[in-house]
């Protein structure tokens, strides 16, 4: 019974992240450069999910906030100071589910 409760709560947490994050991506203007299925300015979220795993989540969340360059070509990703640390982690967790 305890195991069932843990599994259920885990699924609910993942569902809330999956539902909330597309709206968060839109609110934080991520969709100006990214899309789920296709490259816009930056890579698609599905391509990011294919390239990275859960062990990279912290590194990716930092890149969301601080920006980065060189991983997807010559166009750098600008810093996003409007995204706080918790939001960056939520966005990355959602992106990594899109494999």
Q: What is the pTM of this model?
A: 0.79
Structure tokens at 25: 């991506």
Helix or strand run (H / E) with residue 8: helix 2-27
CATH architecture of 2-95: Orthogonal Bundle (1.10)
Structure tokens at 8: 């259920």
Question: DSSP strand E in the chain: where?
Answer: none
pLDDT digits (tens, 9 = 90+) for 19-60: 569 999 999 999 999 999 999 999 999 999 999 999 999 999
Residue 99: band (very low, low, confident or very high) from pLDDT cuts 50, 70, 90: confident
**pLDDT value of position 7:** 44
């Amino acid at each position: 019974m305890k195991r069932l409760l843990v599994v259920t709560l885990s699924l609910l947490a993942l569902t809330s992240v999956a539902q909330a994050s597309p709206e968060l991506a839109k609110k934080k203007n991520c969709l100006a450069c990214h899309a789920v299925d296709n490259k816009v300015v930056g890579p698609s979220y599905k391509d990011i999910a294919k390239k990275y795993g859960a062990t990279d989540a912290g590194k990716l969340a930092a890149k969301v906030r601080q920006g980065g360059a060189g991983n997807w070509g010559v166009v750098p990703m600008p810093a996003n100071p409007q995204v706080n640390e918790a939001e960056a982690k939520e966005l990355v967790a959602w992106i990594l589910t899109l494999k």
